[in-house]
A and B are shown apart, each in its own frame.
Chain A
């Protein structure tokens, strides 16, 4: 590729400040974005970096936005696939059935208050584990979006915590269908477990793939 202009050290420092000031994504994003901007500026720019950046602002914003969207969608798809695997894998199916039957057994035999406490303890345990015990360093989250958004799929079980709280405070638990509550509890646990499995797998891949950035 032929460059018609060579970026100066002063312009390079300006670009660094620009990307830092507007907080455009993680360090990983900045590497790619910076290289693209410099390559295009050196090939097609007119020497005025400030003007070039104003013209490219739309692309820069879209670059970060679309990347985050891809990350979210990928984690969601992988978590759903993992959860579906609990029903389609011959190895996992007996465990899935056993877990559901245990939940159902508890639902029909325990009183409402104990059940709600058990529900909270089980779902919150998964949530706490996913957020605090996966040993992801805080500084690594800033370096890579893929790490920062690794635990995002725990949003569903977290939201599911609200409904039983509502029942406990406003309704008599006996009115709630035990099959419905069993399925509800089971979905919260299965999705949490699937999300944690995806987090662990992805963490291993990311730390291997991006060791240049994280070490």
Chain B
């Protein structure tokens, strides 16, 4: 399963990378499990990112040079943190702008009288 949502999961497909980038832009650095929990918390359980979807997305973003990694010793184990690179910060702004544009267009289509503009 890609992302598990209480509503229609198809609507959230394709937005996973944007969600991850946005969270990292707000939180400086985060580790995988923390991202899944943060999304759950922010959406009050409406959206749950499965680990099977999260890690491939993180690895892809890292391979594309959008994320940097940092390893720190936490208690009895090592933890891999992800943070945005300079390129990743720019790409986050682009992806968020794209998302806003998409939402605006959808708003025009779905509810023309109460569009965001």
Contacts and interface: CB of A to CB of B under 8 A. Distances in A.
Interface of A: 1, 7, 9, 12, 28, 31-32, 34-36, 38-40, 43, 58-59, 62-63, 66-67, 69-71, 74, 209-210, 212-213
A74 B64 contact: yes
20 contacts: A7-B76, A28-B80, A31-B78, A31-B80, A32-B32, A32-B55, A34-B77, A35-B33, A35-B77, A35-B78, A36-B55, A38-B77, A40-B51, A59-B52, A63-B55, A66-B59, A71-B63, A74-B64, A209-B68, A213-B71
Interface of B: 31-34, 37, 51-52, 55-56, 59-60, 63-64, 68-71, 74, 76-80
A12 B76 contact: yes
Given A35-B80, A74-B63, A209-B68, A40 B33 contact: yes
B93 to A, nearest CB: 23
Contacts of B76: 7, 9, 12
Nearest to A66: B56
A67 B51 CA distance: 13
A176 B76 CA distance: 65
A67 B55 contact: yes
Contacts of A70: 56, 59-60, 63
A211 to B, nearest CB: 10
A105 to B, nearest CB: 40
B33 A36 contact: yes
